[in-house]
Amino acid sequence: MARILIVDDESDFRSAVADVLREASHDVHECASADEGIDVVQGRSFDVVITDLCMPGRNGNELLREAALRLPETILIVMTAYGSLDTAIDALRVGAHDYLLKPVNLEGLVRKVDLLLRHQAAIAENHFLRTQLEIDLPTSGLVGSSPGITQVHRLIAKVAPTESTVLIRGETGTGKELVARAIHQNSVRHEKPFVAINCGSIPETLLESELFGHVKGAFTGADRDKTGLFEVARDGTIFLDEIGEMPTATQPKILRALESREILRIGSTAPIRIAARIIAATHRDLPAMIAAGSFRQDLFYRLNVFEIVIPPLRDRVQDIALLAAHFLAKLGRSLNRPVPSMASDALRALESYRWPGNIRELANVLERAMILSEGPLITLHDLSGVVVAEADAAPDDLKAARRAFERNHIQRVITRFDGDKRRAAEALGIDLSSLYRKLDDDQT
């Protein structure tokens, strides 16, 4: 519901506009002249002011100037039966948001008011979010205020000043390297090198050379000495991303580096002391890999001194608006374009989507949307089809929507506790029998 002021000297038309807006649940105040309207806006606030231009006494433009001065956030709409390009330009110049010719389609007016109100709300929300980003968020680059990401921030603050080895777990695209960099940036090593390597992106035959280096003549093609990344990192931090993809033949050498703080270049027998802090990350289930014989248990224990688990984006729905504002601000700078706002229905679509690619996917969707957008607002039409399709699939019926939300939330909690329904029930604040009953209801 919005507070709306209507100013028009034609009483029948003014009453008709007021009636149709009241039917749409708005709080409407009526004035018969610009003089009366100016007096009213000096003492009261409104979300929308709708005024005729040509009236006895002062005209609508004078009312617009006063309203724009006293109520800068108010939406101003002009109506007139004497339309021309000059009058339209004059009205827009003094602050009008829209310009309508009489006779006005009343249903169209209601739709226009609702659209402008949603647009204004989206702008206000995005402005607030950008302000929060600039003022309140830590410098780690991890955006969000949900309980899960807040816990990640706490753990970073705890472990960063120490020398402990850290294992970061999380799905692909959740920001594991951001967490590693945040640990490095908040440690005593922050002025030293941060060296990252993706263990799954380098062929097995080259990975050991990349990590430890080699001496000239160690193998065919080794025509000079090569310094490995452990040496490049010196007394900084080396980040072993996707450690679960590391070949079994290389794992014992990483274990040796952790235990003895020494490495051997390929082809050399002279050990080299290393001082780098080791942070590892994976999206894989390492205990399951240990059971399958594809990951060393002793290496896992050496890496898992301090564990940080990053929640997937689907468990951080309340962070999506903040993340969207963050990415749009970055994209505005990189694309050299004004930063758009998110339309409310577009934001709801982002919050309804499951995000299998997590934050990386969100960033890509927003970049595409910003390129496609043609105005100051990213709309539902600018979003990728799969995001919109999932939002459209949500039930309109309130009870069905509540059941769908409850079902999805329960399943997320069960997944977080690796299928342990008893622990999930405790986290949900219900007893185990209630959990089973809710699951059975979903299947009937």
Q: What is the pLDDT of residue 218?
A: 86
Domain-wise residue ranges, the chain: 3-104, 147-309, 398-443
Q: Which CATH class is domain 147-309?
A: alpha beta
Q: What is the pLDDT of residue 442?
A: 47
Please report, for the chain, how many H helices and E strands are present, in that order.
Answer: 19, 16
Question: What is the Cα–Cα distance from 199 to 217, expressed in whole angstroms?
Answer: 25
Copy the structure tokens of residue 378: 């990213």
Q: What is the pLDDT of residue 242?
A: 95
Question: What is the Cα–Cα distance from 278 to 258, expressed in whole angstroms?
Answer: 8
CB-based burial label for 123 (10 Å; 0-12, 13-18, 19+)? middle
Residue that the structure tokens 């004078």 belong to: 62
3-104 placed in CATH 3.30.420.10: no
Q: What is the pLDDT of residue 124?
A: 59
Question: What is the Cα–Cα distance from 241 to 251, expressed in whole angstroms?
Answer: 14
Question: Is this structure's pTM higher than 0.75?
Answer: no
Could you list the pLDDT tens digit for every one of the 444 residues in the chain? 788 999 999 998 899 999 999 988 898 999 999 999 988 888 788 889 999 888 888 888 888 888 888 777 788 888 877 655 566 667 777 778 877 888 888 888 888 888 888 776 666 555 555 544 443 434 456 888 888 888 999 999 999 999 999 999 999 999 999 999 999 999 999 999 999 999 988 988 889 999 999 999 888 888 899 999 999 999 999 999 999 999 999 999 999 999 999 999 999 999 999 999 999 999 999 999 999 999 999 999 999 999 999 999 999 888 898 899 889 988 888 888 888 888 877 888 898 888 999 999 999 999 999 988 877 788 888 887 778 776 554 445 555 556 656 766 676 677 666 667 777 788 888 887 777 777 665 444
Nearest alpha carbon to residue 366 among 394, 392, 341: 341
Domains 3-104 and 398-443 share a fold: no
**Coil, helix or strand at residue 14:** helix
398-443 folds as Arc Repressor Mutant, subunit A (1.10.10)
**Coil, helix or strand at residue 398:** helix
Q: What is the pLDDT of residue 444?
A: 41
Q: Which residues are CB-contacts of 293 (< 8 A; sequence separation ≥ 6)?
A: none
Q: What is the pLDDT of residue 140?
A: 52
Asked if 124 and 73 count as a contact pair (C-beta separation under 8 A), the reply is yes
Q: Which DSSP state fits 338?
A: P
Q: Which DSSP state fits 266?
A: B
